[in-house]
Structure 1
Amino acid sequence: MKLEYLLFDFTDEETGSCSFDAMASVLPTRLPGVLDEIRAVLSWAYREFGPPSALGQEGEWDFEVQASVEDDVPLKITYDVERARFSMLPAPAGRVTLALTISGSRAFGEAFREAFPE
């Protein structure tokens, strides 16, 4: 899948786990496009590797999404993987910056790079 907003940096750790980090900063009119890409990536991970869980707890992958508006005012953002639904409070009024971190096993990392090539 080709991503328009998210460009991931890959980190491979000696333990065999890996992480992918992406950040996007957009005006409110572009926010739905970024959220759709995050939803697509997380839905793929859920479909292919099951529900997110910390790697030390038998999970293959986990994620964190953070959001802020101009002047680094944090937004509370949550994502329900099973329902593929975001909630964000307060509603953003200016430029929004979203950061997505996905961590996973070596197998997860290989599959991720294949599914989302640069």
Structure 2
Amino acid sequence: MKLHFLDFDYSEDAEGTATWDAIAAIPAARMSELEHEIISVLAWAHAEYGELRGPLESGGLWDYDLQCERDGHPLLAMSYNTETRRLEPLPQLPPDARVALTLSLCGGQAFDEAFAARFGAA
């Protein structure tokens, strides 16, 4: 799948845990497009590895963190609702606002390889 907003950077720790980080800064008018792209990534991860999500140090195979940053507002933690297939909570944005969403995913070798294959990340 070709991603248009999310450009992931890859890192790996000494234990072999892969981390994929992306930041997308956009005008509020494009929020629904970015939301769709993030939902696509997280829906894939949940469909393929959902039951294995959790902190890696506690035995999880993968995990993610999603944050929203808006001028003049505290950082907003967001999550993907697998039942509604929506991001929650969505920030309230005036039409002329800019917003930055940060998505970080981490996982072991199997998750890392599948993620790279699915999203063309290297």
In the superposition, the TM-score normalised over structure 1's length comes to: 0.89
Distance 2:88 2:79 in 1: 7
> Which residue is 2:37 aligned to?
37
> Residue 92 in 1 paired to residue 88 in 2?
no
Tell whether the 8 Å contact from 2:81 to 2:88 is kept in structure 1 after alignment: no
Structure 1 pair 16/32, CA: closer, same or farther in 2 (3 Å)? same
Distance 2:81 2:90 in 1: 18
How many residues get paired?
117
> Which residue is 2:28 aligned to?
28
> Which residue is 1:108 aligned to?
111
Unaligned runs of 5+ in 2: none
In the superposition, the TM-score normalised over structure 2's length comes to: 0.87
When the two chains are superposed, the root-mean-square deviation of aligned CA atoms in Å is: 1.6
Tell whether the 8 Å contact from 1:42 to 1:81 is kept in structure 2 after alignment: no
Distance 1:90 1:78 in 2: 9
Distance 2:58 2:81 in 1: 18
Distance 2:55 2:33 in 1: 28
Query: Post-superposition, which runs of at least 4 consecutive aligned residues in structure 1 deviate over 6 A?
Result: none
Distance 2:110 2:45 in 1: 12
Identical positions, percent = 34
> CA offsets, 1:57-78, max 9 Å, x none?
221110001111135x235342
| 3-state SS of paired residue (1:68) | strand
